[in-house]
Structure 1
Amino acid sequence: MSPFAKLLLVYDGSAEAQAALERCAQLSLALSAQVDVISVVDAESANAHCAGLLSDLAFHRLEELARSTLDHAVRQLTGDGIVASGYVSFGRLNDVVLRHTQAFNPDLVVVGHRAQARRSRWWGSRSAHHELTERLGGTTIVTVTLPGT
């Protein structure tokens, strides 16, 4: 049996997350590992973008979108014969991933990555996987980028 028995996929439906889903499926099949998929509803960031005016309706729409996105990923994995469980979690992405890894102890965390624009790098914005690397000391993180980026 492989030492990697459980994978965690962070999935938001983006093209990068879809690439991560495909890589996670390949890893899961190769390692005979089960997969936990999390979709994050970050209402705090959404509320900040709305100047604090995020309505209940908008919040529920964010949750519906996360559930739909999560269902797509879990269906794709189970269709490939992979044992997969899905979770919708609320909070900031890195906090949610940290909580999930503490609770379920995955062997690998798989995330999609979008290369930052120069302006973002210049302003000092850090991508999620950089912070995850620091916060998840000892956990292996697989970062998947789109071909050609």
Structure 2
Amino acid sequence: MASYKKMLLCYDGTREGRKALRCGADLALDLKAETHLLSVVDMRTSIAQSAGLLTDVACGRFEDAAREILQEGVDWLTERGVQAHGHFAFGHPIDEIANLAEELAVDLVVVGHRSRSGLSRWWMGSGTTPLLDRVSCSILVAVSTRNEQEAPSTAPVSPSGAVT
């Protein structure tokens, strides 16, 4: 097995994000890896969904929700013995994941994915280069299936809000 010393977990509060958080936490504990957690607000998607009518108040709410999700993830990891450094970004998730992975020189990026047709938002943006081609480290894809059940005590629950 490769020796992963520095990991970047990508967390957005969704079922897929919670699966990535759990898998990443287990691996970080096993490997005693330095752990970073990233939460991204994708304003392009939010603006498109609102037909370009987002107000400053709405943008602030997206940011507040994303910061809560990030803190929720950091707190959840800390409760399980993983010391994680939280990172917050505005932008397209693929771009922000790739940028932070390079900046931190991580060995492993952990993302969540729901089984469905096509590739998830973590893999492909709207016609952009896949995440696989944007990072120079390994990627662990934690797959969340529709049938997968989670006990509330094993994973954080996200606050409502459209955040990626």
* Between structures 1 and 2, the one with greater helix share: 1
When the two chains are superposed, the root-mean-square deviation of aligned CA atoms in Å is 1.7
Identical amino acids, percent of aligned pairs: 35
User: Which position in structure 2 is the counterpart of 1:63?
Assistant: 63
The answer to whether the 8 Å contact 1:116/1:127 transfers is: no
| Runs of 4 or more consecutive aligned structure 1 residues displaced over 4 Å after TM superposition | none
User: d(CA) in 2 for partners of 1:12 and 1:140?
Assistant: 20
The answer to whether the 8 Å contact 2:19/2:142 transfers is: yes
- How many aligned positions are there? 141
Q: Which amino acid aligns with 2:3?
A: P
Q: Which amino acid aligns with 1:146?
A: S
Q: Which amino acid aligns with 2:133?
A: E
User: d(CA) in 1 for partners of 2:105 and 2:75?
Assistant: 23
Listed as ranges, the gaps of 5+ residues in structure 2 are 125-129, 149-164
Query: Shift of the alpha carbon at 1:126?
Result: 5.8
SS in 1 for 2:123: helix
SS in 1 for 2:65: helix
User: Which position in structure 2 is the counterpart of 1:19?
Assistant: 19
1:135 aligns with 2:134: yes
Listed as ranges, the gaps of 5+ residues in structure 1 are none
Encode CA deviations 1:47-90: one digit per residue, 9 max, x unaligned.
01111111111110110110111111101111111120111101
The answer to whether the 8 Å contact 1:78/1:84 transfers is: yes
For residues 50-129 of structure 1, the aligned pairs below 5 Å read 50-117=50-117, 121=118, 127-129=121-123
TM-score in terms of structure 1 length: 0.87
Q: Which amino acid aligns with 2:18?
A: Q
Q: Which amino acid aligns with 2:14?
A: S
User: Which position in structure 2 is the counterpart of 1:146?
Assistant: 144
SS in 2 for 1:48: helix
User: d(CA) in 1 for partners of 2:10 and 2:40?
Assistant: 8
TM-score in terms of structure 2 length: 0.80
